[in-house]
Structure 1
């Protein structure tokens, strides 16, 4: 079987619809991040339009191989990126402490999303917040209003860089950060203030 699609945009759409779910499952298993997997698959698909003319089985094998290779390259760069992310987390902590909204925004992607979970026990935003200006204001408001007289430090949260907020030594909240691996900007922020969930978060 081969595909006969004349318009270039239609070619890409067809390629995406058919092969993206399969490639995403591979990339997510290897990278452990939805954002990283999405970017990897997008790169592979955009770089290989010419494969649309190939036999479907040959095309699947080729795209799978290219996705795996791209994931391996990403994994090899993790130590370097990990060091960069630690620096960025510490910059975010400093910016939040100083209410430096400009510096907070500089660390975020334009389409950053903030999600908060208070579990009905801690008052936080009920709906996702989007856009770096909105997110920076809300993030600063939450950390100031909900965690007064608290301390913040960089930690690894379930294998990802994040921020632990404590008060008198007790964990009050965790800010989990997901990064765009290409721009190294914050793509998603997940604040966990739910006491029930805080007990199960793995910190290192």
Structure 2
């Protein structure tokens, strides 16, 4: 009974930590399931700080998995993007404040660019508000080392945490982007959509070698427009392009014959509402949960 209550109380928190660490909801759920299976052999009454114990177990399992999968990412075909958290409804700004487990896709991408230990220190300090002594205990490092890691990482992440499209008008702005892309995909004319991009905007595709995708990022408005119009001419947007929520924000999901083909979401330019990055997730392994 105690184990069941722990599971109900802490499962959402632990999955949110693992998802931020791994960039994969599927792996996050597997890690958390493994944590609770291992607790069947533990005397729960002897654990004084159960939340801290569970967070430490989850974090260390994530670090172990990332260490073992590092080589796989190094040889990954093309760009590697996190698995999107796809839902049916978009949270209002008020709901987003309450939904602490939600992390924007753009922020998730930036987190994955940190090394695993940097990621863990940042999440434990910034998201869980742990003291450096607690972080040091979880990661088996000194407090001074944890402080140094955090101070080095914080500036890299701060920009995404202050994303202008994370303000109260972000939902309507991104809905406009979604509608503009929808119109362009139907007509084949992406000029109006591309006008919403920053001059040096980037389109990043992740096909994982399992579906056709641009191997290298596509940079600049003109090249992005040419790419989009080119693949539209090959009927790459054929099917149903649905407005959906990706990590709580407006995005698009292309479904063909009941099979998810492509998830699209956007990142704003720093201190500006123009779009800096378009993410195309095509890898079918990262779209299994989409429908």
Which TM class, normalised by the smaller chain length? 0.5 to 0.7
Correspondence 1:150 to 2:236: no
Determine the C-alpha separation between the residues in 1 that align with 2:243 and 2:215. Answer: 25
Of 199, 217, 227, 1:138 maps to 227
Query: TM-score with structure 2 length normalisation?
Result: 0.42
Aligned to 1:17: none
Query: 1:123–1:146: 8 Å Cα contact kept in structure 2?
Result: no
Measured at CA, do residues 121 and 74 of structure 1 come closer, stay the same or move farther in structure 2, by a change above 3 Å? closer
Write out aligned runs for 1:10-89 (5 A). 32=104, 33-34=106-107, 78-89=167-178
Query: 1:178–1:186: 8 Å Cα contact kept in structure 2?
Result: yes
Aligned to 1:165: 254
Measured at CA, do residues 159 and 195 of structure 1 come closer, stay the same or move farther in structure 2, by a change above 3 Å? same
SS in 2 for 1:183: coil
Correspondence 1:199 to 2:288: yes
Unaligned ranges ≥5, structure 2: 1-102, 111-153
Determine the C-alpha separation between the residues in 2 that align with 1:73 and 1:133. Answer: 25
**1:186 shift after superposition:** 1.5
RMSD between superposed Cα atoms in Å? 3.5
**1:158 shift after superposition:** 1.8
Determine the C-alpha separation between the residues in 2 that align with 1:177 and 1:84. Answer: 11
Of 176, 179, 184, 1:90 maps to 179
Determine the C-alpha separation between the residues in 1 that align with 2:194 and 2:259. Answer: 29
SS in 1 for 2:168: helix
**1:181 shift after superposition:** 6.2
Aligned to 1:109: 198
Measured at CA, do residues 140 and 72 of structure 1 come closer, stay the same or move farther in structure 2, by a change above 3 Å? closer
**1:72 shift after superposition:** 8.1
**Deviation digits for residues 67-104 of structure 1 (CA, Å, limit 9, x no counterpart):** x9xx68969x7332211211221112102221113212
**1:144 shift after superposition:** 4.4
Determine the C-alpha separation between the residues in 2 that align with 1:72 and 1:142. Answer: 33
Unaligned ranges ≥5, structure 1: 1-30, 38-63
Query: TM-score with structure 1 length normalisation?
Result: 0.58
Q: Which has the higher contact order (CA 8 A, sep 6+)?
A: 2
Measured at CA, do residues 93 and 85 of structure 1 come closer, stay the same or move farther in structure 2, by a change above 3 Å? same
Measured at CA, do residues 158 and 126 of structure 1 come closer, stay the same or move farther in structure 2, by a change above 3 Å? same
- The alignment covers a number of residue pairs equal to 143
SS in 1 for 2:255: strand
Determine the C-alpha separation between the residues in 2 that align with 1:172 and 1:146. Answer: 12
Larger strand percent: 1
SS in 1 for 2:169: helix
SS in 2 for 1:79: coil
Determine the C-alpha separation between the residues in 2 that align with 1:72 and 1:128. Answer: 24
